[in-house]
Structure 1
């Protein structure tokens, strides 16, 4: 063992120790590794930083942006809703549906990309079902890793092993040659996680237990009795309102109703218009109105203007939570709003929101909210588009936003662009599955298309990238090069060949699996496959048996990266959202890796005889 190899192994041991300790953070440890490796003389400073240009790192960053596109267009919420429906409200069914979906999608595209796309979906479902995210994130990463055992193109190690077979003159694997092993492992993983989930977080909280008192729309709907005070009116073709501007109609002054929003049918379903002075009403529009005069005769108003009253309940506001937002705001003592009414101030024309209720002290002020003279300390309930609500959060002088409802986190600002996001995703998956373009290039093109279609903008794209995760991955990449140059990998391979001797071929598969999975703890699974595939084929040649079971064992073992958060980028991605520590992966991943090894070593000779 050379001095250079000793230095590299010592640095690797220190890094793993710091990962296990949890301090400093893993991305900081990665930066330390990048800074220290050049001092060993095995890699240059340029090589230590080369990971920032690695296609896989670029791919991961691009897929974060693609995931953001799914969130901003509401696709993530829709997918989460489908998974929730399939689960029937049961956590066990949810885990099974989630793992099946992630593994199925990962069979045709990057498993890292699958996790990046599913993370916001899982977080949304966890909040909706009040399940700790820690009980869902590790099943997600496990299923994504298992997806590498499903098809030939599911992960790079499969292609590396297949290429080694071809280089040696053997027939390669078919597209679905991996499926007979991946499906049983997936079924085993689902059953395993249904049992192991109890070690990944507390018990599922009962409704309301442990919940922060951040209000939701339902709380405000009930508190302010909105279902009784608001109404919906459809404009008939014969109505005298059709074709006229709101400033011409002056409905608040003439009829005692204040238009809060206008529903209008579009290409992809109904959408909301902001009621501005210049807005022209059209036949078929549905007006959401606030009854300014509770004693007024709304039926008479509808009859005079050829309007049809539509049903309205508190659930309506929840169903329209993607379009209409709410906020509670306080009037500070030095506000210019003091002693003025919302109508005088022109809330709707200046801020794109309407005041629908005023609370003073402990009670609500009765009467039309638009006509109430505001006082310092008044609490206002505002309604309007989410974009306008969020702009109010930056206002400090005239209004202080006290709270946003829980639904603000689920706002999809580009909801009408959802079909484009889905088309881009499907096109990207098709290109990746067909191999027409490199994965990183396909993902970058997908990001550009999302931007061109308005699904994301530059600011949201940069915010969506999890930079600490990328730094962690980049920092660990130089270890593979350092171990190869110092002879550490060759030394391990030679020791394996000497240790196997004349052992039974199936026992050799077990040792080969264990060594490959063990190497994957320290270097990327792709690098592991590059180093171990020649060893596997050589072993088969020396024994005079088919190399296919040995090559398949290496490929399957390379995807068995369940044991640490740095074994694979897939695991690294879920560390933050799941709130995991290093030892969480060890505790859950090591037993399952042993089970996976038993299944694979048992099945490989049956499907691919020696």
Structure 2
């Protein structure tokens, strides 16, 4: 009665929605400890649970893929540039589903949201009509592998505690992949039409206009030999254009589109800051000021020892972890009273004095007539700068500039993207081959990411979604109390005798549908933690294969399509899609019915009772 009461209050608080999920879970854990249901020495054992460690590590590795531009490159390679609605939606949802199978599905959704908004403009749809299919596609993709979503890791953990060992990384694929494929096809061809066509609630509230920046073309770039017209054609999706060219220190304003690009040319590019990374990564070109800062380092070191560290902002140079790990991109606005009005980057010695690079300037839509480093700055200019976070803060304090609201700005780095991808693939390979447990393999990947700097040390802990970690760690001992007190067995017998009446197939359907319903109204990880002991109890009561019921919990916990609170991906699109609470079920309900129809027979075939 005590554990049922605590769980009932916990679920009620989840449904109430006024408190954060991690706060509710921690309260449930402490209540269980005080009531004597969880031993005091095991109260926080959940924080060392392999599922919790693996979730944290996957979030960090996902941050590395995001930082380096690896997913941006993949999206550009996979998504067709000239495609209709069906082809474009299928490519986007397919990419989201594949990515979420091997990285955190919330991270996959966050990475592809800007791509979805761009695609909606191209397909003449509202942002929500593309964002909701993408959100559901990433949720579906998460059920295909062990690491795709936290519920799968939790299910695997309960299987191991039951003495059956962990699930392998691709054990979820036979059923999960089939459900994901059918779900994606349904949404692409039929489902997206059920999404209400609402305008974004966010609107265009944060538009800083176009930035003008300089790109140096390296000798091995694919851009060498192309005409400027052909170059612009390749980057047209990013709404960027070439407004000038510097060759042999001679600036050419509005160059002819038929002029061919040569190695070491400097292209003057006009692009929005949010699409700047995409424009840069098409041809593997780097910002001129980033390249120049590396080339100027040696000369600066010869002049003075004081300029040794400020000039170096490139990753991988031996400047010490504190400096390298603090490299950030920031947008700054120049106020009328700023001390840098009328001065240029060269005049201020930005690199040697402040240890920052001026990467781009936005000036009322007008292209500068001189090089960035010699451009006299004016009040109202917007600057895109790169440097250590404390160096940028010092520059802001000294000059009277105002930092704009933080945005997810990143400059792609091909070499680091390859390293980040290799680390993720290597960790997955180690788990697949059974060389190490998932928690150890992905922790090893995190260590490699820290050493190789695909994830700066300052981001290692900020990349972790700590409320989710606390939620998991707190509910695992509570779920264990359901088993130790016999509550799971009691509930299992009630479901089997009263609803299923001893029929194993009906009981399987009850577990699947119950899990899906609960995951729509409370956190999916919490749902998995609560339902796993019940599923094991039912299978034991009926004397059938427990794996069938555990897989039903995994499928059901990953199918939260009815509400914006059921999954974080649904919450992410609430504002950008302009949605209301009741908009989700229109597509979500048919999709959940389809999941039940497809998964139940497959569970019986792949995991026979």
Q: TM class, shorter-chain normalised? A: 0.5 to 0.7
Measured after TM superposition, the shift of residue 498 of structure 1 is: 3.2
1:525 aligns with 2:528: yes
Q: Of 556, 561, 576, which aligns to 1:560?
A: 556
Structure 1 residues 8, 341: closer, same or farther in 2, change over 3 A? closer
Q: Partner residue of 2:307? A: none
Q: Tell me the TM-score normalised to structure 1 length.
A: 0.65
Counterpart mapping for 1:128-527 below 5 A: 128-129=118-119, 131-132=127-128, 133=131, 136-145=134-143, 147=145, 157=155, 181-191=175-185, 193-194=187-188, 203=198, 210-216=203-209, 219-221=210-212, 263-265=217-219, 289=246, 314=270, 318=276, 319-320=279-280, 323-324=286-287, 329-330=333-334, 332-333=336-337, 335=339, 337=340, 344-347=347-350, 349-351=352-354, 353=357, 378-380=379-381, 382=383, 386-387=386-387, 391-392=391-392, 394-401=394-401, 409-412=408-411, 415-499=414-498, 506-507=505-506, 509-511=508-510, 513-514=512-513, 525=528
Alignment partners' CA distance in 2, 1:145 and 1:369: 49
Partners of 2:553 and 2:604 in 1: CA distance: 15
**Is contact 1:64–1:466 with CA below 8 Å preserved after alignment?**
yes
Shift of 1:262: 5.2
Work out the CA distance in 1 between the residues paired with 2:455 and 2:346: 36
Structure 1 Cα separation of the partners of residues 97 and 361 of structure 2: 49
C-alpha distance in 1 between matches for 2:107 and 2:569: 12
Change (3 A) 1:453 1:608: closer
| C-alpha distance 448-63 of structure 1, shift in aligned 2 (>3 A) | same
Residues 403-443 of structure 1 show CA distances to partners (whole Å, capped at 9, x for unaligned) of 7699x633137553121111111111111222211111111
1:229-283 Cα deviation digits (max 9, x unpaired): xxxxxxxxxxxxxxxxxxxxxxxxxxxxxxx67554589999xxxxxxxxxxxxx
The gaps in structure 2 that reach 5 residues or longer are 121-126, 225-243, 256-261, 288-328
- TM superposition shift of 1:445: 0.4
Q: Report deviation, 1:72.
A: 1.5
Structure-2 change in CA distance of 1:78 and 1:188 (3 Å):
same
CA shift at 1:84, angstroms?
3.5
Query: 1:73: Cα distance to partner?
Result: 1.2
Does 123-132 or 190-199 show the bigger shift? 190-199
How far residue 479 of structure 1 moved from its aligned partner, in angstroms, is 2.5
How much has 1:395 moved relative to structure 2? 2.5
Q: 1:386 to 1:506 in 2, by over 3 A?
A: same
**Aligned mates of 2:167, 2:132 — CA distance in 1:** 37
Residue matched to 2:231: none
| Cα pair 1:563 1:593 within 8 Å, conserved | yes
Change (3 A) 1:13 1:390: same
Q: Distance in 1 between matches of 2:159 and 2:51?
A: 18
How far apart in 2 are the matches of 1:266 and 1:307?
8
Separation in 1 of the partners of 2:346 and 2:180? 61
Cα-to-partner distance string for 1:153-189 (whole Å, 9 max, x where unaligned): 976647976998989xxxx999988765444422342
Distance 1:531 1:89, change over 3 A: same
Q: Distance in 1 between matches of 2:540 and 2:362?
A: 77
* Structure 2: distance between partners of 1:263 and 1:389: 28
The 1:87–1:531 alpha-carbon spacing in structure 2 relative to 1, beyond 3 Å, is: farther
Alignment partner, residue 66 of structure 1: 61
The equivalent of 1:599 in structure 2 is 598
Give the Cα separation in 2 of the matches to 1:456 and 1:437. 23
What's the offset of the Cα at 1:203? 3.1
Cα deviation, 1:197-226, whole Å, max 9, x if unaligned, reads 6787753669xx92224224xx244xxxx8
- Return the offset for 1:334: 6.5
Change (3 A) 1:29 1:502: closer
Decide whether the 8 Å contact of 2:500 with 2:506 is kept in 1. no
1:125 is aligned to 115
1:536 and 2:536 matched: no
| 1:564 Cα offset (Å) | 5.7
**Distance in 1 of aligned mates of 2:263 and 2:178:** 61
Change (3 A) 1:595 1:69: same
With over 3 angstroms needed to count, the CA separation of the structure-2 counterparts of 1:472 and 1:56, relative to structure 1, is same
- Name the SS of the counterpart of 1:386 in structure 2: strand
Contact conserved, 1:135 with 1:198, CA < 8 A, in 2?
no
Is 1:38–1:48's contact at 8 Å kept on the other side of the alignment? yes
Q: Which runs of 5+ in 1 are unaligned?
A: 227-259, 271-286, 299-305, 541-546
The CA distance in 2 between the partners of 1:162 and 1:478, in whole Å, is 15
Q: CA 1:320–1:562 in structure 2 vs 1: closer, same or farther (change >3 Å)? A: closer
1:203 match: secondary structure: coil
**Cα displacement (A) at 1:124:** 3.8
Cα 1:369–1:379, aligned 2, differ >3 Å: closer, same or farther? farther
Q: How far off is 1:447 after superposition?
A: 0.6
SS at match of 1:137: helix
SS at match of 1:387: strand
The alpha-carbon deviation at position 42 of structure 1 amounts to 1.1
Query: Separation in 2 of the partners of 1:135 and 1:293?
Result: 49
How far, CA to CA, are the matches of 1:480 and 1:316 in structure 2?
A: 49
Between the aligned partners of 1:140 and 1:516, the Cα distance in structure 2 is: 19
User: Structure 1's 602 and 211: CA in aligned 2 closer, same or farther, altered over 3 A?
Assistant: same
TM-fit CA distance, 1:528: 4.2
Kindly tell me: are residues 99 and 486 of structure 1, through their superposed partners in 2, closer, same or farther at Cα, counting changes over 3 Å? farther
Residues 64, 455 of structure 2: 8 Å contact kept: yes
Whose Rg is larger?
1
Between the aligned partners of 2:367 and 2:170, the Cα distance in structure 1 is: 66
CA offsets per residue over residues 514-569 of structure 1, 9 Å max, x none? Answer: 567678879663774565346436635xxxxxx56x853552344211466999xx
The separation in 2 between residues aligned to 1:505 and 1:51, in whole angstroms, is 32
Structure 1: distance between partners of 2:263 and 2:592: 66
User: Aligned equivalents of 1:163 and 1:44: distance in 2?
Assistant: 17
2:54 and 2:443 in contact (8 A); partners too: yes
Shift of 1:69: 0.7
Asked whether the equivalents of residues 245 and 252 of structure 2 are also in contact (C-alpha less than 8 Å), the reply is no
> Secondary structure, in 3 states, of the residue corresponding to 1:14?
helix
Does residue 49 of structure 1 match 2:44?
Answer: yes
